[in-house]
Amino acid sequence: QLYREARECLTLLSQRLGSQKFFFGDSPASLDALVFSRLAPLMKAKLPNGKLQQHLKSLQNLCNYCTSILSLYFPWDGGENHPPPHSAGLAYGSEAEEDPHKRRKQLLSVLVGLVAMLGYAFLSGIISIQRGSVGPAGRQPVALEEEEEEE
């Protein structure tokens, strides 16, 4: 049933796309990013059961859609073009010499990402800090005792 629904979804996407370059005309929208993020791995990955992949490959406009986006936005991956080799890295013999601040930039980007995720978690209420009174050792707050009595 899951495969049947997935095939139906692919067919509906194909019908909606029609002969357009993107779902809403000549320029990509967020829907295009979402659809591409699902279709490209399905089209390119080697899967143990290829039923869905075969169905996708039979929908030529969706295949052309993925290939077009790959060659347009990822030319080194989906198209014929490959990224130019780093001549500086070859001249000096290592990537560390090519960018001496690479490690610092990586660490800084990880820290910024971590701070952003924690900030989002606090602001959205996923994580909250509650301060309670500290009583004598072995004594639990009243709220926890009431919950235990209800159980």
41-84 pLDDT tens trace = 998 888 888 888 999 999 999 999 999 998 888 887 544 444 54
Nearest by Cα to 35 from 54, 61, 58: 61
State residue 25 phi and psi, 5-degree precision: 115, -140
Whole-prediction pTM value? 0.49
16-20, 21-25, 82-86, range with the lowest pLDDT: 82-86
pLDDT mean over 96-125: 82
Q: Which residues are within 8 A (CB) of 45 and not within 5 positions of it... i.e. 6 or more apart?
A: 53
Joined tokens for residue 119: 């900030």
Would you place residue 85 in the very low, low, confident or very high pLDDT band (cuts 50, 70, 90)? very low
Q: What is the DSSP string of 10-35?
A: HHHHHHHHTT-SBTTBSS--HHHHHH
3-class SS at 101?
A: coil
Topology (CATH) of 1-74:
Glutathione S-transferase Yfyf (Class Pi); Chain A, domain 2 (1.20.1050)
On the question of pLDDT at 109 being above 60, the answer is yes
On the question of pLDDT at 89 being above 50, the answer is no
Helices (H), the chain: 2-17, 30-44, 51-58, 60-73, 75-78, 87-92, 95-98, 102-124, 142-150
In this prediction, residue 92 carries a pLDDT of: 45
Q: Which residues are within 8 A (CB) of 32 and not within 5 positions of it... i.e. 6 or more apart?
A: 22, 23, 24, 69
